[in-house]
Amino acid sequence: MMSITTPADLYSACREVLRLRHLSYRTEQTYLGVIRRYVAYHGNRSPVNMGVPEIRAFLSHLATQGNVAASTQNVAFSALLFLYKDVLKTSLPEIHGVERAKRSKRLPTVLSQAEAKRLLDAMTGTPRMMAQMLYGAGLRLTELLELRVKDVDLERG
């Protein structure tokens, strides 16, 4: 592993480990964004010189002043664990006392079968086919956009 003396070295080391682990580009961008915010929050101090108290303070800050969703705070926690365990090769004790973001009490709005049928019937061409694939196969948008013709078995539906 390379010597980490500057923020640029840190981000390069993170990027290298993320790519060696074959994590997605979006995960790479998200983790690097969290790590940049973490370093900036602590006055551009090196994470090598920080530990559990700084992690706790940053995660609590996200929940209280940042008003982030619980899932965003969880992603930030995962990014920081990745930084310390996989990049800096530092073992961390269990982290207690973090102010947790509140989970949303809202239920997602889901279309009824009749509403979904009306919506799909109003579409034509490629957008309709894409919407049918999203709805019928339960794909995420990025999964749909990465599909190739050879990935779809049209004979078997």
Mean pLDDT of the residues in the chain: 87
Structure tokens at 64: 């209280």
DSSP for 20-80?
Answer: HTT--HHHHHHHHHHHHHHHHHTTT--GGG--HHHHHHHHHHHHHTS---HHHHHHHHHHH
Q: Work out the pLDDT band at 1, boundaries 50, 70, 90.
A: very low
Read off the pTM.
0.67
* Maximum Cα interatomic distance, the chain, rounded to a whole number of Å: 60
Two tokens at 119?
């919506």
Please check whether residue 35 is in contact with residue 83, taking contact to mean a CB–CB distance below 8 angstroms.
yes
| pLDDT, mean of residues 25-42 | 93
User: In this predicted model, what pLDDT tens digit does every residue of 131-140 receive, in sequence order?
Assistant: 988 888 888 9
**What percent of the chain stands above pLDDT 70?**
93
Residue 7, SS3 per DSSP: helix
